[in-house]
Amino acid sequence: MYPLGKLKKNEAGLAQVWQSNNQRAFLKNKIMMNQITKLRLTFSVVVFSTSTAFCQSDLAYSNNSLENQFGGKKERTFSQRNGNLVNRYFDNISKEEEGLRAVSKNGKWGFLDSKGTLIIDLKYQDAKEFSEGLAPVLSYNHWGYVSKSGKMMIPNEYDDATAFSDGLAFVKQYGNWGIINKKNKIVSRPQFERVSPFSEKLACVSVNQKYGYINEKGETVIPFRYEKASDFKNGLAAVKTPNHKWGYINSEDVLMIQDVYDYAEDFEKDLALVKHKTKYGVIDIKGEPIIPVIYDQVIKADVDLYYVKIRNKMGLLDIKGSKIAELKYDMIGRFKGELAKVSINGKYGFINQKGEEIIPLIYDKVEDFEGELAKVEIFNKNGYVNKNGKELFVEKEQVSQKR
Q: Look at residue 266 in the predicted model and tell me its pLDDT.
A: 94
Q: Is the CB of residue 177 less than 8 Å from the CB of residue 188?
A: no
Alpha helices in 172-319 (DSSP H): none
Q: Look at residue 116 in the predicted model and tell me its pLDDT.
A: 84
Q: Which regions of the chain are under pLDDT 50?
A: 1-86, 396-403
Q: Which residues contact 240 (CB under 8 A, 6 or more apart)?
A: 226, 227, 228, 229, 246, 259
Tell me 216's DSSP state.
Answer: T
Q: Is the CB of residue 385 less than 8 Å from the CB of residue 373?
A: yes
Q: What does the alpha-carbon distance between residue 329 and residue 60 come to, in Å, rounded to a whole number?
A: 30
Q: What does the alpha-carbon distance between residue 56 and residue 258 come to, in Å, rounded to a whole number?
A: 37
Q: Look at residue 16 in the predicted model and tell me its pLDDT.
A: 37
Strand 53-55 with 84-85, pairing: unpaired
Q: Look at residue 57 in the predicted model and tell me its pLDDT.
A: 27
pTM of the model: 0.71
Q: What does the alpha-carbon distance between residue 144 and residue 305 come to, in Å, rounded to a whole number?
A: 41
Q: Is the CB of residue 236 less than 8 Å from the CB of residue 285?
A: yes
SS3 63: coil
Q: Look at residue 29 in the predicted model and tell me its pLDDT.
A: 44
Q: Look at residue 394 in the predicted model and tell me its pLDDT.
A: 61
Q: What does the alpha-carbon distance between residue 12 and residue 389 come to, in Å, rounded to a whole number?
A: 18
- Which amino acid, one-letter code, is at 42? T
Q: How many CB atoms lie within 10 A of CB 263?
A: 16
Q: Look at residue 2 in the predicted model and tell me its pLDDT.
A: 31
Q: Look at residue 88 in the predicted model and tell me its pLDDT.
A: 58
Degrees to nearest 5, angle at CA 240 with 238 and 242: 145
Q: What does the alpha-carbon distance between residue 289 and residue 109 come to, in Å, rounded to a whole number?
A: 46
